[in-house]
Amino acid sequence: MLTAAMARMHRNLGRRVRLFKHGPDYLDPMLLEVASGAPVYQLHPWMTGVEECRHRVAAAAQQADVILIEGAMGLYDGSPSSADLAVMLGVPVAVVIDARAMAETFAAVVSGLARYRDDLSFYGAIANRVGSPSHAAKLRASMPDDLPWLGAVPRHAALTVPDRHLGLMQAGELADLEQQLDAAATVLAEAGFDALPPMRQWAAPVPLTPPPQRLAGMRVAVARDGAFAFIYRGNIELLEAMGAQVVFFSPLHDHELPAADAIWLPGGYPELHAAALAANRPMLEALRRHHQEGRAILAECGGLMYCASELRDLHGACHPMLGLLPGQAAMADRLVGLGLQAWEAEGGTLRGHTFHHSHFATELNPWMQARRCRGGVGESIYRQGSLTATYFHGYFPSAPELVSRLLGAGD
Helix (H, G, I), strand (E, B) or coil at 133: helix
Q: Which amino acid is at 100?
A: R
Q: What is the rounded distance in angstroms from the CA atom of residue 337 to the CA atom of residue 391? A: 8
Q: Per DSSP, what are the bridge partners of residue 188?
A: none
Q: What is the rounded distance in angstroms from the CA atom of residue 322 to the CA atom of residue 163? A: 28
Sign of CA dihedral 279, 282, 288, 290: negative
Q: What is the rounded distance in angstroms from the CA atom of residue 351 to the CA atom of residue 394? A: 6
CA distances, 118 to each of 54, 87, 97, 122, 355 (Å)? 22, 10, 20, 9, 33
Query: Shortest CA distance to 20 belongs to which of 39, 45, 46, 37?
Result: 39
Of 53, 301, 307, 373, the active-site residue reads 301
Q: What is the rounded distance in angstroms from the CA atom of residue 225 to the CA atom of residue 319? A: 19
Q: What is the DSSP string of 293-318?
A: TT-EEEEETHHHHHHEEEEE-TTS-E
Q: Phi and psi of 5, rounded to 5°? A: -65, -40
Sign of CA dihedral 137, 139, 145, 146: negative
Q: Which amino acid is at 407?
A: L
| Residue 301 falls in the annotated catalytic set | yes
Residues with catalytic function: 301
